[in-house]
């Protein structure tokens, strides 16, 4: 049997979240290249399913609705048992994924989250990571080394239907956007407060691009980011005359995942915190300026080096968490307070020059 036909039914598990799922797409693409005839299914939480719905490398997107609880999980497991997979790649490695894969008659490999390295770094500031850090999207491939599957260097990808791009284009047109002008997307939200750069400095960056280049500033985020984006938008416009106020648009809470992806695809530059929108922008090959506070490169979630710049401060208290906190444990929040708007502006300009 040719190696490319060794497995005929492959299941990949990564249930959440936006960034983590986007970072699996290089692996999905490489698995499809290696096993061109295989059925390749993907288990994902229902609210993130659109991220993979149009991926041509995936045969079926299987969803789990967390609202259904354990009953829904058991129902999904029955579905997986009926499929009789011969290969399972667990990229989540949590209790849910362990439950789903247990008892299935398949070759199973799982992603190593490097718990101990992370534990020593976060708790004791002891860095046991190698000198050359492997980002998460490449760590995923460790599960496939024995099969000769490796990263192809083509980056992440999210496939957008034309309808989403047309919808966002029409939305911008209706708001008076001049398509000859630079479009800068600001993503000031984040899952936790310690991952959010200062709102007033986002405003300073937005004002710079409007005044210097006549850019339009578009805000993107979830419903929980609406007030934050409104505050920054107000800060930008209050010091500028009425002729320029239309150059800021708040789309937070108004676009779904794929529509947000379509907007980022059109953008000349995205300026983000450490969030899923950073990875979404990169999946659309849009230049990114990423602002990192409480998290660091060792944790593996920095943007791909192509078309990106990271702004951060080298502090002894970083990283203090992998997923963010409600407040700075030291009380000073220097990881974000020390990052100036000028640094972020210059990082953005350097990315655009690339």
Q: pLDDT tens for residues 194-250?
A: 999 999 999 999 999 999 999 999 999 999 999 999 999 999 987 666 455 558 999
Q: What is the pLDDT of residue 274?
A: 96
| Domains of the chain, earliest start first | 3-147 (3.40.50.2000), 163-353 (3.40.50.2000)
Cis previous bond, 204, omega within 30: no
Q: What is the pLDDT of residue 3?
A: 79
Contact in structure between 104 and 88 (CB atoms under 8 Å):
yes
Q: Please say if the pLDDT value at position 261 is more than 90.
A: yes
Q: What is the pLDDT of residue 246?
A: 54
The angle subtended at Cα 185 by Cα 183 and Cα 191, nearest 5°, is 175
Q: What is the pLDDT of residue 132?
A: 65
The residue ranking higher by pLDDT, 277 or 238, is 277
Give the model confidence (pLDDT) of 6-36 as tens digits. Answer: 999 999 999 999 999 999 999 999 999 999 9
Q: What is the pLDDT of residue 174?
A: 96
d(CA 287, CA 271): 9
Give residues with Cβ within 8 angstroms of 328, minimum separation 6.
194, 294, 320, 334, 335
Q: What is the pLDDT of residue 214?
A: 93
Helix (H, G, I), strand (E, B) or coil at 269: strand
How far is Cα of residue 157 from the mean position of the Cα atoms in its chain?
A: 11
d(CA 318, CA 56): 39
Q: What is the pLDDT of residue 124?
A: 78
Confidence bin at 165 (pLDDT 50/70/90)? very high
Q: Please say if the pLDDT value at position 263 is more than 70.
A: yes
- Percent share of the chain, pLDDT over 90: 87
Q: What is the pLDDT of residue 119?
A: 84
Arithmetic mean of pLDDT, 50-69: 97
* One-character DSSP codes across 59-123: SEEEEE-GGGHHHHHHHHHHHHHHHT-SEEEESS-SHHHHHHHTT--SEEEE----HHHHHHHHH
Give the model confidence (pLDDT) of 29-56 as tens digits. Answer: 999 999 999 999 999 999 999 999 999 9
Q: What is the pLDDT of residue 353?
A: 87
Q: What is the pLDDT of residue 121?
A: 86
Confidence bin at 164 (pLDDT 50/70/90)? very high
Arithmetic mean of pLDDT, 145-169: 96
d(CA 4, CA 31): 10
Q: What is the pLDDT of residue 239?
A: 67
Q: Please say if the pLDDT value at position 79 is more than 70.
A: yes
């Amino acid at each position: 049997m040719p190696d490319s036909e060794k497995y005929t039914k492959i299941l990949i598990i990564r249930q959440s979240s936006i960034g983590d799922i986007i970072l699996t797409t290089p692996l999905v693409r490489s698995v499809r290249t290696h096993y061109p005839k295989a059925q390749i299914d993907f288990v994902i939480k229902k609210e993130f399913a659109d991220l993979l719905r149009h991926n041509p490398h995936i045969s079926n997107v299987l969803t789990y609705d967390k609202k259904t609880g354990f009953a829904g999980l058991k129902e999904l497991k029955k579905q997986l048992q009926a499929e009789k997979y011969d290969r399972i790649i667990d990229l989540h490695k949590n209790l849910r994924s362990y439950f789903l894969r247990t008892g299935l008659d398949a070759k199973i490999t799982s992603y190593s989250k490097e718990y101990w390295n992370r534990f020593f770094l976060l708790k004791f500031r002891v860095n046991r990571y190698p000198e050359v850090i492997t980002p998460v999207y490449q760590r995923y491939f460790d599960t496939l080394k024995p099969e000769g599957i490796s990263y192809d260097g083509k980056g992440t990808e999210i496939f957008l239907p034309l309808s989403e791009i047309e919808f966002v284009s029409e939305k911008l047109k209706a708001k008076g956007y001049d398509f000859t002008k630079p479009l800068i997307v600001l993503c000031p939200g984040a899952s936790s407060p310690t991952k959010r750069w200062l709102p007033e400095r986002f405003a300073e960056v937005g004002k710079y691009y409007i005044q210097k280049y006549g850019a339009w500033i578009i805000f993107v985020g979830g419903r929980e980011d609406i007030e934050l984006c409104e505050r920054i938008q107000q800060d930008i416009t209050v010091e500028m005359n009425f002729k320029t106020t239309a150059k800021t648009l708040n789309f937070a809470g108004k676009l779904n995942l794929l529509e947000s992806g379509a907007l980022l695809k059109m953008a000349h530059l995205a300026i983000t915190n450490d969030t899923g929108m950073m990875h979404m922008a990169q999946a659309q090959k849009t230049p990114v300026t990423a602002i990192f506070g409480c998290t660091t490169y060792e944790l593996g979630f920095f943007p791909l080096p192509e078309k990106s710049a990271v702004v951060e401060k080298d502090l002894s208290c970083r990283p203090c968490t992998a997923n963010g906190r409600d407040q700075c444990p030291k009380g000073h929040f220097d990881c974000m307070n020390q990052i100036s708007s000028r640094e972020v502006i210059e990082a953005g300009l350097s990315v655009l020059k690339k």
